[in-house]
Amino acid sequence: MTLEQESAEKKAVALSSVFASLLLTGGKMAVGLYTGSLGILSEAAHSALDLFAALITYFAVRVSDRPADEEHHYGHAKVENFSALIEALLLLLTCVWIIKEAVNRLFFVHVPIEVNVWSFTILVVSILVDFSRSRALAGAAKKYNSQALEADALHFSSDILSSAVVLVGLVFARFGINYADPVAALIVAVIVIVASVRLTVKTVNALLDKAPRGLDRDIANEVMETPGVVGVHKVRLRVAGGRIHGDMHVVIDRNISFVEGHRIASLVEEKLSRHSNDILVHFEPEDDWEAVNSSILKTEQAVTRLMVEKSPGIKGYHNLVVRRGPGGTDVIIHIVMPGDISVSRAREYCDDIESEIKKELEDTNMHFHIEPCEGLCNDCQICPDCEEKDEMTQKGEKDEKG
């Protein structure tokens, strides 16, 4: 799909949400004023906010897809994050009004409520429309990694819950329990506050260029698997709208030819294209990599020694791999445990050995793969019991053949 087609689909989804919000706002406002229901009026205010949010979303997706220019070298995708923040703040302001009116009706002012067929009809229609729009928006947000569409989907999803709560409140009010209506409005406010706070945190993180959790390590590990790459460091990532921008340093063998270096660079760029086309790669020879290799060797020796000295509950280990990553040194190791111990006990053994290793190797990230002892005696190390058992097994097999 081309960028033009992607932009057109995002605009179409956002524009349909504008019309849906306009329809729901007008209907809820009319019924709320007619019946005097604070629950429905709070829903009307919520839908009016959704209408404004949908307009902001439509504007955001139109602007965010514009290409980079002389003043915006990274494009305009941050508009999506900024629009989502505005929507979250508007949600919080609406909640203040809803809570104020609900407390006033609960304790100070009695407002009669007329519950009729229109009250229930507008809420049922609202739930159906909200469900349809939230699914369409959530699907488009996931497909294009759009925070603005995700924010709009969150608005419609919260509307489904709040409309259902108000509907229950009206059922109680129908039987004379009038305080259920302002209580329902308070519940609506709580639902909206929770949704808006989550959205605020997410958008602020994006505006402050917080890196996606764990993505730098995943990308570094993928690049390290490329033949000819001997190291990856200085991985920096940030998100603007639904796009990932960043840069990284990739170390390659200094003795390879220019043609081979170009081939390695193409493979690295191919791996990165799965995540983004906006990650700049700095390729450098391994001039200073001998010191890194020496550090890796020392780490391997230290881990091997500590596994022997400090791991009485572990039967053995194998497949020890040490790599330098963006967050320090990564140690990947397969740990062999007795087959009859519990999972929690096995985890305790791993925690103990990890703490011992980190006392000596501070900047080290441990990754354990726990395996049962049976059938692994030919692979693992530091396991005299298993070695003796394996020798007896082999002897028994020879006797049976004899």
Domains delineated in the chain:
3-207 (1.20.1510.10), 215-286 (3.30.70.1350), 291-399 (3.30.70.1350)
Would you tell me how many other CB atoms lie within 10 Å of the CB of residue 293?
13
**Residue 195: predicted pLDDT:** 76
**Residue 358: predicted pLDDT:** 79
Question: Which residues, 6 or more positions from 182, have their beta carbon under 8 angstroms from its beta carbon?
Answer: 38, 39, 101, 102, 103, 105, 106
Instruction: Categorize the per-residue pLDDT at 33 as very low, low, confident or very high, splitting at 50, 70 and 90.
Output: confident
Helix axis angle for 215-224 and 258-273, nearest 10°, is 150
What global pTM score does this model have?
0.54
**Residue 398: predicted pLDDT:** 47
Give the integer Cα–Cα distance in Å for 87 and 49.
8
SS3 195: helix
* Model confidence at 188: pLDDT above 80: no
**Are the C-beta atoms of residues 353 and 315 closer than 8 Å to each other?**
no
- Number of residues assigned to the chain: 402
List the single range of 21-35, 39-53, 353-367, 377-391 with lowest mean pLDDT. Answer: 377-391
To which residue do tokens 């305080």 refer?
A: 179
Helix axis angle for 78-107 and 180-207, nearest 10°, is 160
List the single range of 60-69, 171-180, 355-364, 392-401 with lowest mean pLDDT. Answer: 392-401
Give the integer Cα–Cα distance in Å for 231 and 265.
13
Look at residues 192, 190, 170 and name the one whose alpha carbon lies nearest to residue 180. Answer: 170
Look at residues 44, 80, 103, 90 and name the one whose alpha carbon lies nearest to residue 193. Answer: 90
In degrees to the nearest 10, what's the CA dihedral of 65, 74, 216, 250? 130
Please give the structure tokens belonging to residue 209. Answer: 């260029």
The mean per-residue pLDDT over the stretch 334-346 comes to 79
Average pLDDT, the chain: 75
**Residue 357: predicted pLDDT:** 79
To which residue do tokens 């040490």 refer?
A: 322
* HSE, side-chain direction, 13 A CA sphere, residue 84: 33
The mean per-residue pLDDT over the stretch 222-251 comes to 82
* Model confidence at 6: pLDDT above 80: no
Of all residues in the chain, what percent carry a pLDDT higher than 70?
81
Instruction: Categorize the per-residue pLDDT at 389 as very low, low, confident or very high, splitting at 50, 70 and 90.
Output: very low
* Model confidence at 290: pLDDT above 70: no
**Residue 401: predicted pLDDT:** 44
Query: Which bin fits 214, alpha (ψ -120 to 50), beta or left (φ > 0)?
Result: left
